[in-house]
Amino acid sequence: MSSGGDDYKREESVALIVIVSLAALSLLSLIAAFAYYCYITRKVSRRLNSHPLPKRSSSPPPLPLPAPVVPTQGKESPSSNSASDGAAVGALVVGAERGVQVFGYRQLHAATGGFGRAHMVGQGSFGAVYRGLLPDGRKVAVKLMDRPGKQGEEEFEMEVELLSRLRSSYLLGLIGHCSEGGHRLLVYEFMANGCLQEHLYPNGAINVGSCGGISKLDWPTRMRIALEAAKGLEYLHERVTPPVIHRDFKSSNILLDKDFHARVSDFGLAKLGSDRAGGHVSTRVLGTQGYVAPEYALTGHLTTKSDVYSYGVVLLELLTGRVPVDMKRPPGEGVLVNWALPMLTDREKVVQILDPSLEGQYSLKDAVQVAAIAAMCVQPEADYRPLMADVVQSLVPLVKNRSSSKPCNPNAQASRPLD
Ligand SMILES: Nc1ncnc2c1ncn2[C@@H]1O[C@H](COP(=O)(O)OP(=O)(O)OP(=O)(O)O)[C@@H](O)[C@H]1O
Ligand SMILES: [Mg+2]
């Protein structure tokens, strides 16, 4: 009887030991899993907060960075952020660290003459743009969002988030923003010559906006704009990690200062690209008709090469003076890329597609080279398109050697000094 009782007790204690060991093991695995989770979370957040990172070792020397924007007016976020929208405030903290100002609605109302018509310089899909003057004398452009809903809100946040972190003299500088009540406003450096589109199409562009214009650009200025815009994209693609894909690169998003120096603007649709070489991100197709790369339009697979395609379209606009899509043209000529591509690599035909208003200010050699760059950028196979760094390298000599270029037309106008 007693031995049976002992056996029973022994079995009981073995069971107890097994249960305790199992419990201890589960606890240990839980702790291990939690520790691994913490490690991964920290790693991911460190990576997300780390761009812009120092340039990659293989990239060329860093681009000249503009002087930091020193706040002189208005309050700095996050401590004094007057925005009432919690989600927006959260996304803006990094920007505040970089000196982007937070404006009150009244300040911007006063700076732009109450958003009066006389101050309006343009109208885009985000809303109207007004010329403004800050009390410290700085000229600014104020974009007043009039698009309610999630898409507008996302674009606003992306613009602030990215422009607060990125610094390049080839990108439009964000001075500040306002997110007060239902108002969403962006405050930029004022670009005295507006957008490239309005200078290319003085009588108004068809299908791609409604820019009024003042003058035609000469060849050397076009080439310099092409180079500076290429440097803007090169910075986004190759100097920050992960790369930034602009997604809405077009002639109305290249702004020109008083000396016709170019800056790339409008990052509302931008996406962070894949870190993997040749990798893509999948996303819904957004952008502007005539500029969207075919593979992105078909599959939604977005890479930096989608921007290279859009850049090629802008280069074609600069060369031909034609808008990307114009269905009023004769059959076969409506889509710029389809019309121009077969002629871009034919020396004899290149001259036929060049903007007649250039009046032979270019050398044939330069024109053929620029046409070849454009052809590479807009080719249907994304992998064969060049990197923006390659485009920059190819354009540099064409801009620097402009004085040695012999114009096709002996009556060509004198070129504007470039530097
Ligand atoms: N910083 C600025 N300085 C001077 N003018 C500007 C500035 N930003 C925009 N503009 C003017 O406002 C116009 C509208 O710009 P906006 O970026 O809102 O629209 P868009 O690029 O023409 O079109 P979309 O909204 O479809 O991209 C520009 O064409 C330009 O003339
Ligand atoms: Mg724009």
- To the query of whether residue 248 is one of the catalytic residues in this protein, the response is yes
Query: Under a CB-based contact definition with an 8 Å cutoff, are residues 233 and 219 in contact?
Result: no
Instruction: Determine if ligand 1 sits within 6 Å of the CB of residue 251.
Output: no
Task: Indicate whether 39 belongs to any domain.
Answer: no
Instruction: Determine if ligand 1 sits within 6 Å of the CB of residue 255.
Output: yes
Instruction: Determine if ligand 1 sits within 6 Å of the CB of residue 141.
Output: yes
Q: Which of 190, 206, 221 lies at the terminal end of a domain, its last residue? A: 190
On whether both 208 and 283 belong to a single domain, the answer is yes
Task: Indicate whether 327 belongs to any domain.
Answer: yes
DSSP 292-345: S-HHHHHH-EE-HHHHHHHHHHHHHHHHH---SB-TTSPTT-SBHHHHHHHHHT
Q: pLDDT value at position 282?
A: 60
Q: What is the CATH number of the domain that holds 321?
A: 1.10.510.10
Q: Whose CA is nearest to atom 15 of ligand 1?
A: 124
- Amino acid in position 214: I
Range of the domain at 120: 62-190
On whether both 206 and 341 belong to a single domain, the answer is yes
Ligand 1 geometric centre to CA of 231 (Å): 20
State both tokens at 265: 């603007």
Q: pLDDT value at position 392?
A: 98
Query: Under a CB-based contact definition with an 8 Å cutoff, are residues 331 and 390 in contact?
Result: no
On whether both 283 and 152 belong to a single domain, the answer is no
Which ligand has the minimum distance to the alpha carbon of residue 131? 1
State both tokens at 187: 């405050």
Q: Is 3 exposed, middle or buried (0-12, 13-18, 19+ CB in 10 A)?
A: exposed
On whether both 319 and 397 belong to a single domain, the answer is yes
On whether both 186 and 214 belong to a single domain, the answer is no
Instruction: Determine if ligand 1 sits within 6 Å of the CB of residue 190.
Output: yes
**203: alpha, beta or left? (left if phi > 0; alpha if psi -120 to 50):** alpha
Please state the domain count of the chain.
2
Instruction: Determine if ligand 1 sits within 6 Å of the CB of residue 252.
Output: yes
Ligand 2 geometric centre to CA of 123 (Å): 9
Q: pLDDT value at position 116?
A: 94
Instruction: Determine if ligand 1 sits within 6 Å of the CB of residue 205.
Output: no
Task: Indicate whether 122 belongs to any domain.
Answer: yes
Q: pLDDT value at position 210?
A: 42
Ligand 1 geometric centre to CA of 191 (Å): 10
On whether both 272 and 166 belong to a single domain, the answer is no
Task: Indicate whether 36 belongs to any domain.
Answer: no
Which ligand 1 atom sits closest to the C-alpha of 209? 22
On whether both 160 and 247 belong to a single domain, the answer is no
Q: What is the CATH number of the domain that holds 152?
A: 3.30.200.20
On whether both 388 and 318 belong to a single domain, the answer is yes
Q: pLDDT value at position 189?
A: 95
Q: pLDDT value at position 95?
A: 36
Task: Indicate whether 358 belongs to any domain.
Answer: yes
Query: Under a CB-based contact definition with an 8 Å cutoff, are residues 211 and 198 in contact?
Result: yes
Task: Indicate whether 204 belongs to any domain.
Answer: yes
Task: Indicate whether 360 belongs to any domain.
Answer: yes
Which ligand 1 atom sits closest to the C-alpha of 127? 18
Q: pLDDT value at position 279?
A: 64
On whether both 300 and 351 belong to a single domain, the answer is yes
Q: Which of 190, 219, 250 lies at the terminal end of a domain, its last residue? A: 190
Which ligand has the minimum distance to the alpha carbon of residue 186? 1
User: What does each of the 419 residues of the chain score in pLDDT, given as a tens digit?
Assistant: 445 566 767 778 777 887 777 877 877 777 766 665 555 445 433 433 333 322 333 333 333 322 222 222 332 232 222 222 222 222 223 334 457 899 999 999 999 999 999 999 999 888 999 999 999 999 999 999 887 778 788 888 888 888 888 889 999 989 999 999 889 999 999 999 999 999 998 776 544 444 444 347 999 999 999 999 999 999 999 999 889 999 899 999 999 999 999 999 988 777 776 655 556 666 656 678 899 999 988 888 889 999 999 999 999 999 999 999 999 999 999 999 999 999 999 999 999 999 988 877 999 999 999 999 999 999 999 999 999 999 999 999 999 655 444 434 333 333 333 22
Which ligand has the minimum distance to the alpha carbon of residue 269? 1
On whether both 153 and 209 belong to a single domain, the answer is no
State both tokens at 7: 């056996």
Q: Which of 174, 190, 206 lies at the terminal end of a domain, its last residue? A: 190
On whether both 358 and 215 belong to a single domain, the answer is yes
Q: Whose CA is nearest to atom 23 of ligand 1?
A: 124
- Global pTM reads 0.73
On whether both 376 and 272 belong to a single domain, the answer is yes
- State how far the Cα of 169 lies from the Cα of 43, in Å rounded to an integer: 31
H or E element, residue 101: strand 101-102
Instruction: Determine if ligand 1 sits within 6 Å of the CB of residue 191.
Output: yes
55 is in an annotated binding site: no
Ligand 2 geometric centre to CA of 266 (Å): 5
Q: Whose CA is nearest to atom 11 of ligand 1?
A: 122
- State how far the Cα of 377 lies from the Cα of 388, in Å rounded to an integer: 9
Choosing from 7, 146, 218, 248, the catalytic residue is 248
Task: Indicate whether 67 belongs to any domain.
Answer: yes
